[in-house]
A and B are shown apart, each in its own frame.
Chain A
Amino acid sequence: MNIAKPKVLIVDDEQDFLETIVKRLLKRQVDATGVDSGREAVRILQEQSFDVVILDVRMPGMDGIETLMEIKKRSPLTEVIMLTGHGSIQLGVKGMQLGAFDYVIKPAEFDELLEKVNQAAERKMLHEERVRKS
């Protein structure tokens, strides 16, 4: 099931990675925006709503877990995919506990990431439907 045009926010302090991902996602009909810090992510989420957030776990300043908590507080239906270069199990467990949709190890295969984005967007839609019905 593919959502027409999911709105995705990518949060990563690695500029090269960020630019590449945003570009590639845009080519694949994904409405993608990139920011380079947790703080920026929280700020932009106050102005716009996103279906999926791809979030790096280790960032200076506000780290991935803190950002995840803020995102879930402000827009609980937005699905978050955590990106980690280190594969920390503890962070994984913590993230899932806090409501992350999935965990991907960097370097991530683009197609795999895209598939997860679609799955996450689908989940958001299902969740919204359920909320609407209740």
Chain B
Amino acid sequence: MLNMLPTDSYRVYILVVPLSILLLAVPLWIYSGPGPGFAALVVAAFCFFVISSLVRKVVKAREQECLLDLQLIQSQKLAAVGELSAGIAHEINNPLAIIAQEVEWARHQLQAEKPDGKSLAELKDSLDEITRQVDRCREVTHGILDFARKRDPLVQSTEINKLVEDMAKLVEREVSHEGICVIRQYEKDLPPALTDPPLLRQIVLNLLNNAAYAVGQNGTISVETRMPDNGKIEIEISDTGCGIPKEDLNRIFDPFFTTKPPGKGTGLGLSLCHSIVIRLGGTIAVQSEQGKGSAFTVRLPLEYNSHKSR
């Protein structure tokens, strides 16, 4: 409980007991003589020393705790950066390796005695591949930059159902060709939320994109909004796609984790969603069964509170 006190209050506590005893000492001295008065003085002094040393210990312990907290956050950050760097290095090194080889092969073509149609075609193919790999690297670096951009949410009054429906319409346009239907179930009379609209759009679009990829062809994507209890909104995006294997479930939000073949997707989508959701003061959870489908649920506070989220 003392942890809650600002430093000035400590002084009050240190002084209040000894002072009151001191105040008692005066009348005591007057009425009962120097003996009891002096005893009271001694008791007052004793109390002062005991309480002040106790308070000093509490303050020190609290400072230590703060320091440990900061160190923990810092080491967690460093660990995260380390993990991220390893992932980044890998995602960039592979395209670079391909580029290096294509350049080597192109040089070989140019060394031919009589560069013919075939070598020119090979040369062109190598250059095309280099372009593809450069694009791949760009996707990774842009994805990382987006990740790193700690955009503090800019809060605006937002109609959640409308926002989600806008994104659903966008996705529906494209997936209807693949025989995927988009089902909506919006909570009626959902009050406007105080949150960051473009950040929320990113989350919803990312989840819808994943759902579309998981289904591929002929299936369903469901979009639902709910208000399970006052002050919280839930957005659920589920699909009848391939689902996520059990052993991958706890890695699904890790940066660079992807089940897509190399070059197809950076593996940053869900980790970005996760980081944005946290910034908005919410949570994201996944339920999935391989072969049946997945459901991602985003829970957000109705009113974004900058003090409550990191």
Asked whether any CB of A lies within 8 Å of a CB of B in the complex, the reply is yes
Question: Is B307 engaged at the interface, CB distance under 8 Å to the other chain?
Answer: no
Whether B143 and A123, one on each chain, are in contact in the complex, defined by CB atoms closer than 8 angstroms, is no
**Residues from 8 to 32 in A contacting B, C-beta threshold 8 Å:** none
Chain A nearest Cβ from B193, distance in angstroms: 13
Chain B nearest Cβ from A6, distance in angstroms: 15
Question: Is A3 engaged at the interface, CB distance under 8 Å to the other chain?
Answer: no
Whether A97 and B198, one on each chain, are in contact in the complex, defined by CB atoms closer than 8 angstroms, is no
Whether B198 and A87, one on each chain, are in contact in the complex, defined by CB atoms closer than 8 angstroms, is no
Whether B205 and A93, one on each chain, are in contact in the complex, defined by CB atoms closer than 8 angstroms, is yes
Whether A93 and B154, one on each chain, are in contact in the complex, defined by CB atoms closer than 8 angstroms, is no
Given that A87-B170, A103-B166, A126-B156 are contacting pairs, would A96 and B198 also be in contact in the complex, using a CB cutoff of 8 Å?
yes
Given that A105-B169, A119-B156, A122-B156 are contacting pairs, would A93 and B197 also be in contact in the complex, using a CB cutoff of 8 Å?
no
* Assembled-state Cα–Cα distance A126/B158 (Å): 14
As a 0/1 sequence over residues 118 to 134 of chain A, the CB contacts with chain B under 8 angstroms (1 = contact) are 01001100110010000
**Residues from 172 to 226 in B contacting A, C-beta threshold 8 Å:** 172-175, 197-198, 201-202, 205-206, 208-209, 212
Whether A89 and B156, one on each chain, are in contact in the complex, defined by CB atoms closer than 8 angstroms, is no
Q: Among the listed A89, A98, A101, which residue makes an inter-chain contact with B209, where contact means beta carbons less than 8 Å apart? A: A89
* Assembled-state Cα–Cα distance A4/B293 (Å): 48
Residues of B within 8 A of A104 (CB): 166
* Assembled-state Cα–Cα distance A97/B269 (Å): 10
Q: Among the listed B156, B169, B174, B202, which residue makes an inter-chain contact with A97, where contact means beta carbons less than 8 Å apart? A: B202
As a 0/1 sequence over residues 89 to 100 of chain A, the CB contacts with chain B under 8 angstroms (1 = contact) are 110110011111
- From B171, which residue of chain A is reached at the shortest CB distance? A89
Given that A97-B142, A100-B198, A119-B197 are contacting pairs, would A92 and B154 also be in contact in the complex, using a CB cutoff of 8 Å?
no
- From B203, which residue of chain A is reached at the shortest CB distance? A96
**Residues from 64 to 114 in A contacting B, C-beta threshold 8 Å:** 84, 86-90, 92-93, 96-105
- From B146, which residue of chain A is reached at the shortest CB distance? A97
Whether A101 and B170, one on each chain, are in contact in the complex, defined by CB atoms closer than 8 angstroms, is no
Residues of A within 8 A of B201 (CB): 96, 102-103
- From B163, which residue of chain A is reached at the shortest CB distance? A102
* Assembled-state Cα–Cα distance A121/B70 (Å): 39
Residues of A within 8 A of B167 (CB): 92, 103
Given that A89-B209, A92-B205 are contacting pairs, would A98 and B142 also be in contact in the complex, using a CB cutoff of 8 Å?
yes
Whether A86 and B198, one on each chain, are in contact in the complex, defined by CB atoms closer than 8 angstroms, is no
- From B196, which residue of chain A is reached at the shortest CB distance? A123
Whether A89 and B202, one on each chain, are in contact in the complex, defined by CB atoms closer than 8 angstroms, is no
* Assembled-state Cα–Cα distance A93/B167 (Å): 10
* Assembled-state Cα–Cα distance A45/B190 (Å): 39
Q: Among the listed B155, B175, B202, B212, which residue makes an inter-chain contact with A96, where contact means beta carbons less than 8 Å apart? A: B202
A interface residues with partner B (beta carbon < 8 Å): 1, 84, 86-90, 92-93, 96-105, 119, 122-123, 126-127, 130
B interface residues with partner A (beta carbon < 8 Å): 142-143, 146, 152, 154-157, 166-167, 169-175, 197-198, 201-202, 205-206, 208-209, 212, 269
Pairs A–B under 8 Å by Cβ, sample size 14: A86-B174, A87-B170, A89-B171, A89-B174, A89-B175, A89-B208, A93-B209, A97-B143, A101-B198, A102-B166, A103-B166, A105-B170, A123-B156, A130-B154
